Amino acid sequence: MSDKKDYQLDLIHRPRRLRQTQSLRDLVEETDLKISKLIQPLFVIEGDSICEPVDSMPGIERLSIDLLLKECESLIELGIGGVALFPKIEASLKCNMGREALNPESLIYRAIKALRKHFPELTIIADLALDPYTIDGHDGIVEIGSQSPLNDVTVDILAEMAVLAADAGATMVAPSDMMDGRVGVIRKTLDANAFQSVLILSYAAKYASAFYGPFRDAVGSVSLETGAIIDKRSYQLNPANRREALLETSLDESEGADILMVKPAGQYLDIIREVRESTILPVAAYQVSGEYAQIMAASEKGWLDLKACRNESLLAIRRAGADMILTYFAKAYAQDIN
């Protein structure tokens, strides 16, 4: 039925013409959400056949290496773009210097080795930061009583971690610490150790966000001493700022980053767009644990439609300009699409 002639508006443009059928809507669709653009973050723990749920992240588990291998086999079959690994180490292995991070036999390096052995082509991303290893849960070395990691000492350790991760078989190293100058030092150190082809995915614009809460639970980086929320504002970006994000991304680019990441994603779509327009490098975005948890919680209550909200949240991040997305929804999305 068409509107009666008498009531017809004199319109040249009627954008609704393009939305009449699914076929037309598909033809004019601007953004896609391919499974190969998604990276699944995975939590690793010690042990055998261990699968520990993370309370604040329904559907997400910490896996021992044997189960991690099985999980990656399914992810590869589903066509996922890669995996980002995070260790939860035993409390007894933590110290103020985060020394376990430089033990070549540490959990994370064993996990990478095992994965590389079984899956030669898998894109494996090794996170570089000290928070799983320090008692206070900071990303770098902190002097007693301070909340502010020592920059240059921490950068040296990160560079050594990069070599261990590369040696174990990581495709990319991903410094998530926000120390100044770390990308340049990591690049030089990797190259000096003949790891020229290992990529650096830089957490370039990482904000001091309250949405990391469930992740800190997952890796056990909540301060062991106080149980208190860790204040990372002396190194992560102020959520009020955008120019600062552009400075950080341009510095990381000039220091040799291969991919620039914005984190979190959903609350920072404007930043993703601005970074996208300020560089020709690929841009990644991290849909963080709190973004995942809020959609899961509301859908468990019956207040939001899980799949529709999940897909819309991911599409929005792609539309903002992210080439790839780290998301805890990667596997579930892939399963639904396949």
Residues that bind ligand PBG (CB under 6 A): 127, 129, 131, 139, 176, 212, 215-216, 232, 288-289
CB of 136 to ligand PBG, least distance (A): 12
CA-CA distance, 154 to 64, in Å (whole number)? Answer: 28
CB of 90 to ligand PBG, least distance (A): 18
Q: Are 147 and 137 contacting, i.e. CB atoms less than 8 angstroms apart?
A: no
Residues carrying an active site annotation: 206, 263
Provide the 10 A C-beta neighbour count for residue 167: 16
CB of 261 to ligand PBG, least distance (A): 10
Three-state SS for 118? helix
195/212 with CB nearer ligand PBG: 212
Element (H, E) at 185: helix 182-192
CA pseudo-torsion sign 106, 109, 115, 116 = negative
CB of 232 to ligand PBG, least distance (A): 6
40/64 with CB nearer ligand PBG: 40
CB of 50 to ligand PBG, least distance (A): 21
106/289 with CB nearer ligand PBG: 289
Provide the 10 A C-beta neighbour count for residue 162: 26
166/219 with CB nearer ligand PBG: 219
64/327 with CB nearer ligand PBG: 327
Q: Are 324 and 38 contacting, i.e. CB atoms less than 8 angstroms apart?
A: yes
CA-CA distance, 259 to 324, in Å (whole number)? Answer: 10
> In this structure, what are the phi and psi dihedrals at residue 98, rounded to the nearest 5 degrees?
60, 35
Nearest residue to ligand PBG, using CB?
215
**DSSP string computed for 205-235:** EEB--GGGHHHHHHHT-S-TTT-PPP--TTT
Q: Are 83 and 126 contacting, i.e. CB atoms less than 8 angstroms apart?
A: no
